[in-house]
Amino acid sequence: MNHLRPAVDHRAGEFSLSTTLSRAAAMTYVGRMTMAPPRLSRSTVTGYSLGSVGTGGFATLPGLVLAYYLTDTLGVAAAVASLVVFAPKALDVLINPYIGSRSDADAARTGTRRRFLLLGALALPVFFALTFAVPAGASTLVGCLWVTAAFVLSAIAFGLFQVPYIALPAELTEDYHERSRLMSWRVAVLAVAILLFGAGGPALRELGGGGRTGYLLMGVIAGLTLGLGMLGAWRIAPRSVGVDHTPVETSSGHGLADSLAAVRSSGPFRSLLGTFALQALAIGCMLGSAQYAATYVLDSEGAVSILFAALVAPALAVMPMWIRLVRAWGKQRAYFLASGLFLGASVAMLGLIAAPGPWVYAVVAVAGIGYAGMQMLPMSMLPDVISDHENTATGSVRAGAFSGVWTAAETLGFALGPAVVLAILAVTGFVSSTTDHPVAQSDGAITGIVIALAAVPAVLVAASLVALRGYRLAAEEQNRSGK
């Protein structure tokens, strides 16, 4: 059987894969190395990190403002808005695993996931802008249907990019610590993207005069920014794993059912996925309630930008700390610490019920230290799990299958977050309004906002720690023993 043979160019600091692809070798993991992998080049790290502008922005801005746009600009009832926010992204639970299996088949045939990345990068800006482009004078019903259709198409376009993007690290390097380095830079860019979209999105809305015009300006500029970041990853990162693009026949093992069966067979993946999915839901709830907390608890609609800065800015400073902890403790133990910090800060934020005030920004900053680890660590553990499966199981291309299920769970968590928030608001007496006719909220509604912001995330993160205890991987044990 012919194997992939890496040729290392030490002068350029890069590596490329020259291959002789037989029908059997086509089923070999695309980035498989038979020697110690070289250090990832700066261009590879930069190219991959740029994609986080797209993934971070799309994960952040809709979760932050879409529910608020529906209830407080278009006048959609909270219960109905919860369905509008949840339904389009819930569709990704079905679509993303399919995209993953198709991406694997395409990678086995052509040696690249480039086409999927490009299609998503070109389509997302258009549909994202349309989501916030409800025509002036449109009724509440028409506006609701418009947003639903545009957001469904946005979610599909995002999946076409996100699924192959998440699969790339397992193909870029097999080194345990290089993956942490790659993800540390990715999360640093992610932090900048979250700050940019979390603080800049509402600022653009106000620059456009608020209301529908303000949201339209925000949607257009944010959509273009998403696309530029994604195109940066398409141009640079995929080329660093280039192989001979000679088309070859692939097996039927890349069908959706076979891909899902392979994913289910990995115990470490199930444990890591459960942890990450619960935490995605926790973060989704916090994101979805932040604008409500700023407006009705802190009495300042613009305070949402400060909340976001307090949560995300620490990631830029503490990322080297998480890298050192990985080398000293391993990824699983560091992940426990990150989650514990976020949990403790969430519990402390319950004090907003009795004493709302600017003290909460310091507590959110502590949560931000944990949040940085909660982003970097599981994303660097996922390629470890993929490589473990490829080394011990079939050896076929499966990175897309794993990333498809992973992104489906992440998308579901972020979609459920705002829906859970809106459900809590509906139960606790929140009253929807329009831009021209704001209303005061009852004490029960204020309490409901704080529950959604702090109590629900705390419970979910506590549950995620139970799932994390079941994570068992050979690479983790080897790192702890220093082998």
Query: pTM of the full predicted structure?
Result: 0.73
- Residues near 372 by Cβ (< 8 Å), separated by ≥ 6? 187, 191, 314, 315, 318, 319, 322, 338
Distances (CA, A) of 263 to 41, 69, 166, 323, 477: 30, 37, 15, 28, 22
Return the residue matching tokens 């045939």: 109
Q: What is the pLDDT of residue 463?
A: 97
> What is the C-alpha separation between 193 and 198, in angstroms, rounded?
8
CATH number of domain containing 264? 1.20.1250.20
Q: What is the pLDDT of residue 121?
A: 95
Number of domains in the chain: 1
Question: Residue-wise over 198-210: b if at least 16 C-beta within 10 A, else e?
Answer: bbbbbebbeebee
Give the mean model confidence (pLDDT) for residues 278-306. 88
Q: What is the pLDDT of residue 459?
A: 97
Of the spans 7-11, 174-178, 235-239, which averages the highest pLDDT? 174-178
Question: Percent of the chain, pLDDT > 90?
Answer: 33
Residue 437 lies in a domain: yes
Return the residue matching tokens 């995929």: 238
Residue 318 lies in a domain: yes
Residue 24 lies in a domain: no
Residue 313 lies in a domain: yes
pLDDT digits (tens, 9 = 90+) for 59-95: 788 877 898 899 888 999 888 888 888 777 778 888 8
pLDDT digits (tens, 9 = 90+) for 417-458: 888 998 899 899 887 766 566 677 788 888 999 999 999 999
pLDDT digits (tens, 9 = 90+) for 168-200: 888 778 888 888 888 888 888 888 887 788 778
> What is the C-alpha separation between 405 and 284, in angstroms, rounded?
18
Residue 18 lies in a domain: no
List residues bridging with 5 in a β-sheet.
18
Q: What is the pLDDT of residue 334?
A: 95
Which residue range is the domain that position 366 belongs to? 34-481
Lowest mean pLDDT among 161-170, 321-330, 374-383, 468-477: 468-477
pLDDT digits (tens, 9 = 90+) for 259-277: 677 678 788 899 999 999 9
Q: What is the pLDDT of residue 441?
A: 78
Give the mean model confidence (pLDDT) for residues 39-46. 82
List residues bridging with 330 in a β-sheet.
none
DSSP state of 302: T
Residue 29 lies in a domain: no
Residue 267 lies in a domain: yes
- Residues near 151 by Cβ (< 8 Å), separated by ≥ 6? 62, 66, 84, 85, 88, 89, 127, 131
Of the spans 7-11, 251-255, 377-381, which averages the highest pLDDT? 377-381
Cβ burial, residue 483 (10 Å; 0-12/13-18/19+): exposed
Residue 26 lies in a domain: no
Cβ atoms of residues 44 and 172 within 8 Å: yes
Residue 252 has pLDDT above 70, yes or no: no
Residue 27 has pLDDT above 80, yes or no: no
Cβ atoms of residues 280 and 413 within 8 Å: yes
